[in-house]
Amino acid sequence: MTNTTETINTVAPKVEAEVLSGPTPRQILLAKILGHKGLMFGAIVLLTIFLMALFAPLLAPYDPYQQDLMHRMIPPVWDAKGSWENILGTDHLGRDYLSRLLYGARISLAIGAIAALISGIIGTSMGVAAGYFGGRVDACVTFLINVRLAMPVVLVALAVVALFGGSLQVVITVLGLLLWDRFAVVMRSATLQLRSMEYVTAAKAIGCSTKRILFSEIMPNIANSLIVIVTLEMAHAILLEAALSFLGLGVQPPTPSWGLMVSEGKQMLLFQPWMIAIPGVALFILVLAINLLGDGLRDVSAPENRN
């Protein structure tokens, strides 16, 4: 009996040590991230595009604004008439297409990130205030959301940009002020669900300030939904900028923009389809990577909410 007791006393600390030495929450999260194919694909592609845009001055073989009419409309290198001097060919003004594509990534990423940041601040503030305080605040925010949803984004953006002129600053400001409605709707709904939770009630009971409750109890628990909306609106802003530039009311030439490149190549669609295909595929890959990254982060951070 004594030997059995000694054996149990000897084995118990080892078992307890093995349990305590298991994977940490950080290791579990890292394993989930590395095991999510969509998230990893989106992250790698988005990081690659970001690095290409960041180091565009080093990677671009030519000045994206340099014109050479003697070498205009050169096809890409995979075409029989292509040349390795211009890997992706040249446009109608003889500008190197690869150089303009690399610098155009800067425009798309900047517009998407800044517009999503502006709209996120506006929409999140309104949605959290409406969901937490309720009453007249909720009624006022709901009215503003309904007004915004009644306004067609593309038509309003076209009108405003046509009125104030197309430029990078105007496009970013207009998109940032028009894309906040989804943030407000989702954040309001999430906050309405959280404000009746026990930990929020407990925080109120012990006398925590409203600021502390909002930033310590509410915001961390709606971060998962916020991540998804940020990525969706970032991709939405990039596509809207491309649409405005395609219509001639976005980023103005000679600034390299993927939407503007598509617009400049539309006249040669039947003869030089690569002029539209290259920037179009670049837009598709960028938007796909952003959406996959956002959806993957949502899966990893809150898998219990996914069916």
Residue 277, Cβ density class (10 Å: 0-12 exposed, 13-18 middle, ≥19 buried): middle
Bond preceding residue 254 cis, omega within 30 of 0 = yes
83-301, which class in CATH?
mainly alpha
End-to-end CA distance of the chain: 52
Contact between residue 98 and residue 158 where contact means Cβ atoms under 8 Å apart: no
pLDDT in tens, the chain (307 residues): 455 555 445 544 444 444 445 677 777 778 877 888 888 999 999 999 999 999 999 999 999 998 888 888 888 988 878 788 888 888 888 899 999 999 999 999 999 999 999 999 999 999 999 999 988 999 999 999 999 988 888 888 888 888 887 788 888 899 999 999 999 999 999 899 888 888 888 888 888 888 888 888 888 888 888 888 998 899 999 999 888 888 878 888 888 888 888 888 888 877 888 889 999 999 999 999 999 988 888 888 764 544 4
The pTM for the full model equals 0.83
How many CB atoms within 10 Å of residue 74? Answer: 21
E-assigned strands of the chain?
Answer: none
Which letter, b or e, does each residue of 60-71 get, where b requires 16 or more Cβ atoms within 10 Å of its Cβ? bebebeeeeeee
Taking the domains of the chain in order of start, what are their residue ranges?
Answer: 83-301
